[in-house]
Amino acid sequence: GLFLRTFTSLVNVSLGFDPDPVLVAYVNAQQSAVTPSERRALHERVRQAAETVPGVAKAALSVVTPVSSSTTQLSVEVQGSAQLSERQRITHANMVSAGWFATYGTRLVAGRDFTPHDTAGAPRVAIVNEAFARRFLNGASPLGRTVRPTFGPPGRINAPMEIVGVVADAVYRTLRDPVPPTLYVPIMQVDEPPPVVRLSVRSAGPSPAMLVRDVTSAVARVDPRIALTFRPLKDYVDASLTQERMVAMLSGFFGGLA
């Protein structure tokens, strides 16, 4: 009964995003001839090309895919925050493009979303989730406050940022953990863009898997040396439940047999 109840609870967890219409492409530009300083522009051309494919409603970029077990963490200080220990100041982070929250169906609670104008030369901005506001500000509005990274991936997120938006809580790494405080920054403002990013496309039709061929062709026209690997977002969610599903099936079978 405990195993079955655990599995049922995880299946019914509110994800904070809609996985069914989203297809995720692992975009590897390591073989591309572009220099690291040109990666931002290359990534944006890839996103724009995918968004023009018939049947694609939205397309966006990120460094982390939710429920994929990958993670980026930072230690931050927030203007007006309560006194927190070093451990408590650790937040999860993701680098995303404009339109990423709309692509995933994550609700904007307050403030604004990222826009195409949030580029390297523009003022540094950030968006946080509700769990971030609860941890650092006891639920008070974080809009307009400055968040400053004190430790994180070298060369990625270093400068102070103004918090311009708040989004609803969404599962980050795994369904088993409570939603962590999460900081989102524009991928176009990252100091050293990684050669590998995730392209997420939201299908306007019934099956996102049907977009694979057309998205592949569109990206190849941007740079044929970019390697793509596709996987529906729903597969990530299902894979995260494999262990609990197997245990629930076995325990149910042997319980019935007993």
The token duo for 127 is: 């968006």
User: Is 15:105 a contact under the CB 8 Å cutoff?
Assistant: no
Q: Is 116 left (phi over 0), alpha (psi -120 to 50) or beta?
A: alpha
The percent of the chain in helix, strand and coil, each rounded to the nearest 5, is 30, 25, 45
Q: For residue 237, what pLDDT is reported? A: 85
Helix, strand or coil for residue 38? helix
Integer CA distances (angstroms), 180 to 56, 187, 202, in order: 30, 20, 25
How much is the pLDDT for 199? 98
| Per-residue confidence (pLDDT) for residue 13, from 0 to 100 | 64
Q: Which residues of the chain have pLDDT under 50?
A: none
CB 128 within 8 A of CB 164: no
Give me the pLDDT at residue 71, please: 86
- The strand pair at 227-232 and 161-167 is best described as unpaired
- Residues 249 and 3: their CA atoms lie apart, in Å, by 9
What pLDDT, on the 0 to 100 scale, is given for residue 82? 80
- Residue 203: phi and psi, rounded to 5, are -80, 140
pTM: 0.87
What is the Cα–Cα distance from 138 to 63, expressed in whole angstroms? 28
pLDDT attached to residue 155: 55
pLDDT digits (tens, 9 = 90+) for 176-235: 788 999 999 999 998 888 889 999 999 998 889 999 999 999 999 999 999 999 999 998
Token duo for residue 61: 């970029």
Return the number of other C-beta atoms located less than 10 Å from residue 240's C-beta: 20
**Of 96, 104, 168, 91, nearest to 125 (Cα)?**
96
pLDDT at 246: 59
